[in-house]
Structure 1
Amino acid sequence: MTTTPSVRPIAPHVDSRRLEALARRVRVADPASAQDVTNAMTGEVLGTVPHGTPEDVAAAAVRARAVQKAWAARPVRERAAVLRRFHDLVLARQDEVLDLIQLENGKARRHAFEEIMDVTLNARYYANTAHAYLRPKKRQGVQPGLTRTWEVHHPKGLVGVISPWNYPLTLGISDALPALVAGNAVLAKPDAQTPFSALWAVELLEEAGMQPGLVQVVTGSGAELGLPIIENCDFLMFTGSTAVGRTVAAQSGQNLIDCSMELGGKNALIVLDDADVDRAVSGTVRACFSNTGQLCISMERVYVPGTLWDEFVRKFVAATGAMKLSPAIDYSGDMGSLVSQKQLDTVIRHVEDARSKGATVLTGGRHRPDLGPFFYEPTILTDVDDTMEVYAHETFGPVVSLYRVADEDEAVARANDSEYGLNFSVWTGDERRGRRVAARLQAGTVNVNDAYAAAWGSVDAPMGGMKASGLGRRHGEHGILKYTESQTIAVERVIPVGAPDGIDPARYARLVTAGLKVLKRLPGIK
């Protein structure tokens, strides 16, 4: 890489000039406004982006709306072609964004690559299915054969996407892809800690043929910009904590716009008594410590039957203790860093509170500043009870609590005993049994013999949370149609609905009553 004194190398595929170019994509009224972005691996300043204001949000919304109508007028196949080209560009240039993800978030590269998989899966899926989802559909009319009825979908207009820091590429752009192919513009606000990955994705979308300005990115504080985004958009997609989600839902309702949310979780993994222990151990390591545990759908509670307890615990502790923590910007590490001091403080507080109240730390439980300022060992706790903060509250870090249960019924009851219901996991040697148990669990997604990726990656099926874990769904049909306004067009032919002129209303009522009885018995009538 050729350098000059003004260019600072940061990672194998990223330098300071590249970050400055991405930051310039954000338009603000005051170009001198700036906020630092921290390198999660080192704690040093990675780069700066503009610090947007509510006025900047309003101006960005105007720019996006100015482009949206022309974009919506393009045929769906042309919009889908943009997603296909974007898919190919992400795969071809993944090294650069993998560096960005690791630098911003601190995760191991193997977990950063999951974001490449997610974005390309979503781009391909909606490129291939958008036409079928969006085309006008004939519906049964009120008077079969006489009423012709269609369901039509129009873009909402401007979709707001507020995304968190834990998956800066996936959550920064994947939810925008179906909104775009449906004909909308997007106003995106990535988390202040991780803006560069989302900006990179928008750049690639424009290179793939998306009209410039259709996706506007605003950077700044969520507390300052969240409400202005809601006030300037026609639909909101939010991913974040349940506490903030309650506020966002209330603000969306006040502005009479619909919203979809993926919120918090205290996810449970159940090992059934017929499970292959080695396979379950390997899966549980992935379930608990992928992305340094900073994953909405990762596991923080594990229920193990007494018949397998000793073997499972011994092997799980050994596998966890053997994990390699690394700040390297390559594939050598098994787990990376937490994202910030705030997240580290939460993890330390939860572990130390549990330890002080009688919990046992089987492995881990230590801050590792020798590796980087926010590193913490993968940690396994037992003897956890409801007096401890870690028992019911989301840690969002590499900490899991093990619970011994008598049988399947107890495991299901304890897994469901939570205000959250996002993603659960079941391990068994009997697939049918696994499906039966999964159906008893109060969670939006349940993986049988997998940690989280099977359900998450099955983008043809809906993904979202029950109870306090969210509203609405992403992926599948719902994941695109939520970004549209449904319209019913009905054309009445020959005879109106209602008594025609010149017919006695009482006689009309008798005729219709007889007709309704006949229709009930006819096959094919809904």
Structure 2
Amino acid sequence: METYDALLASISPASGTGRTILDPATGDAVGEAPIHSLEELEQAITDAQAAQPAWAALGHAGRSASLLKAAEAVERSAEELARLLSREQGKPLNGPNARFEVGACAAWLRVAATTPLEPETVVDDGETRAELHYKPIGVVGAIGPWNWPMMITVWQIAPALRMGNAVVVKPSEYTPLGVLALVKVINEELPEGLLTAVSGGRDVGARLAEHPAIGKIMFTGSTATGKAIIKSSAGTVKRLTLELGGNDAGIVLPDADPKAIAEDLFWGAFINTGQTCAALKRLYVHEDIYDAVCEDLVAVAKAMPMGNGLDENNVLGPLQNKAQYDVVANLVEAARASGARILLGGNPDTTKPGYFYPTTLVADIDNDNPLITEEQFGPALPIIRYSSVDEAVEKANALDVGLGASVWSGNRDAAREVAARLQAGTVWINRHGAVDPRIPFGGAKQSGYGLEFGIEGLKALGVPQVING
């Protein structure tokens, strides 16, 4: 285990040759990230190709043993990684934030290592025997986002490695340091060249997506970038898993208890200060309990402290970058101008440093308002009144995205009936956004395709092969 300063120094380039990464809470320098070139990407891919066959030859047992040791390595450096994550991304140490994210990295490594995947006998009738196996793809390219940079990187690399692949990681330009540090820690338990992080610009990501030696791309990010990856990968017919933008709807049925669900509603919407693809971003509440839900949500939101992530008291932090801050601010101001009612927040203090946008709740808003139809990806939740369940379902399904959704009710059977009508990859009952490494996760419509996690996630990182005879 290295100290924080030693870990940061180990991933830093020679002084003056990198790009300075700033703390979104203070504007202070966190460190310098290397600017890797296309030539360095080529070398990483060459090294991955060389390391992959021996890794594949270890079999599931050997690879799983290494991944379990990698989980232990992450835990040994957990506090140092969490501190770096908090400074670079902005999320607080406590709450469902930086320490939580690093802990999730270890958990996903362990589940990827221990999930059984045996050959499946599909026909055995005495005359024909057919078995379905999964073989390594080769080299996988993993392109990650800035909102959960460490955790989502592990979502990509853990199953890829378990299935016998080598991996080249391209972190977001906003949050490269944490991913570089995480990969360094994991590499304490892996063969050299098998896993490499290349911290470059868009040209590196574009080349990774089109490179003929890359057999699959794992991407989490915007729908627009996902579409570009689809186009650039077409020439080599790459396999793709795309987890793209979401604008998740939640429906509160009239029998729900507003006070009982208020805190879970809050964290469904405001986890990571709203910067989560599968966060609750549109809340539809029946008119009978609309005012009560609004009142209880305001009470919960007022009690959640926002500030510098290194302060142990805070559970909400800044937006990670100025561009995202502007998106949220502009959408809230457009909602205000349209006549929507701002229940809480909406007035950022621009005299203080950092991209802090206050926790904002917006009521009495039309369903075609941009704050509803566009993904805000920040701490602003619109609350829409509805009269009938049919109306709520229609509005929830109206957009061209469908990552997640939720239904809130005291009657689980009634909630499941509504859930079955929603066009989303996952529908939660009485919670929102609770992902589990054992449970498949993926989007519908333009929220992407392919599944991650569990057995299905492992299969997605292999080439299916039928042995017939």
Q: TM-score, normalised by structure 1?
A: 0.84
Code of the residue aligned with 1:364 in structure 2: it is: G
Cα distance in structure 1, aligned partners of 2:143 and 2:156:
10
Go from structure 1 to structure 2 and tell me whether the alpha carbon gap of 1:184 and 1:119 turns closer, same or farther (over 3 Å shift): same
Q: Is the 8 A contact 1:405 1:411 kept in 2?
A: yes
Displacement, 1:328? 4.0
Go from structure 1 to structure 2 and tell me whether the alpha carbon gap of 1:91 and 1:433 turns closer, same or farther (over 3 Å shift): farther
Partner secondary structure for residue 260 of structure 1: strand
Residue range with higher mean Cα deviation, 193-202 or 364-373: 364-373
Cα distance in structure 2, aligned partners of 1:477 and 1:443:
20
Specify the alignment match of 1:118 in structure 2. Answer: 104
Cα distance in structure 1, aligned partners of 2:451 and 2:283:
26
Map 1:352-371 to 2 at 5 A. Answer: 352-369=333-350
Partner secondary structure for residue 442 of structure 2: coil
Deviations 1:443-468 (A, max 9, x none): 11111111211xx12x2221011001
Specify the alignment match of 1:128 in structure 2. Answer: 114
Go from structure 1 to structure 2 and tell me whether the alpha carbon gap of 1:196 and 1:63 turns closer, same or farther (over 3 Å shift): same
Specify the alignment match of 2:88 in structure 1. Answer: 104
Q: TM-score, normalised by structure 2?
A: 0.94
Specify the alignment match of 1:395 in structure 2. Answer: 376
1:287 and 2:268 aligned: yes
Residue range with higher mean Cα deviation, 215-224 or 238-247: 215-224
Of the three residues 55, 77, 89, the one matched with 1:71 is 55
Q: Is the 8 A contact 1:266 1:394 kept in 2?
A: yes
Of the three residues 333, 338, 345, the one matched with 2:319 is 338
Cα distance in structure 1, aligned partners of 2:463 and 2:264:
41
Deviations 1:17-44 (A, max 9, x none): 43121235xxxxx997422212122122
Specify the alignment match of 1:228 in structure 2. Answer: 208
Partner secondary structure for residue 420 of structure 2: helix
Deviations 1:167-226 (A, max 9, x none): 01101222100100111000000101111222222222222x211221111002135432
Cα distance in structure 2, aligned partners of 1:163 and 1:179:
14
Deviations 1:460-497 (A, max 9, x none): 22101100111111112221111111112222xxxxxx
Of the three residues 4, 18, 35, the one matched with 1:14 is 4
Displacement, 1:229? 4.1
Displacement, 1:357? 2.0
Q: Is the 8 A contact 1:136 1:151 kept in 2?
A: yes
Specify the alignment match of 1:197 in structure 2. Answer: 178
Displacement, 1:159? 0.3
Cα distance in structure 2, aligned partners of 1:310 and 1:229:
48
**Larger Rg computed on CA atoms:** 1
Code of the residue aligned with 1:20 in structure 2: it is: A
Code of the residue aligned with 1:137 in structure 2: it is: E
Q: Is the 8 A contact 2:248 2:278 kept in 1?
A: yes
Specify the alignment match of 2:245 in structure 1. Answer: 264
Displacement, 1:56? 1.9
Map 1:353-502 to 2 at 5 A. Answer: 353-369=334-350, 372-385=353-366, 388-453=369-434, 456-457=435-436, 459-491=437-469
Specify the alignment match of 2:32 in structure 1. Answer: 48
Go from structure 1 to structure 2 and tell me whether the alpha carbon gap of 1:468 and 1:124 turns closer, same or farther (over 3 Å shift): same
Residue range with higher mean Cα deviation, 382-391 or 255-264: 382-391
Partner secondary structure for residue 81 of structure 1: helix
Cα distance in structure 2, aligned partners of 1:371 and 1:183:
49
Gaps of 5+ in 2: none
CA RMSD of aligned residues (A): 2.0
Specify the alignment match of 1:306 in structure 2. Answer: 287
1:137 and 2:120 aligned: yes
Q: Is the 8 A contact 2:79 2:99 kept in 1?
A: no
Displacement, 1:149? 2.4
Q: Is the 8 A contact 1:327 1:372 kept in 2?
A: no
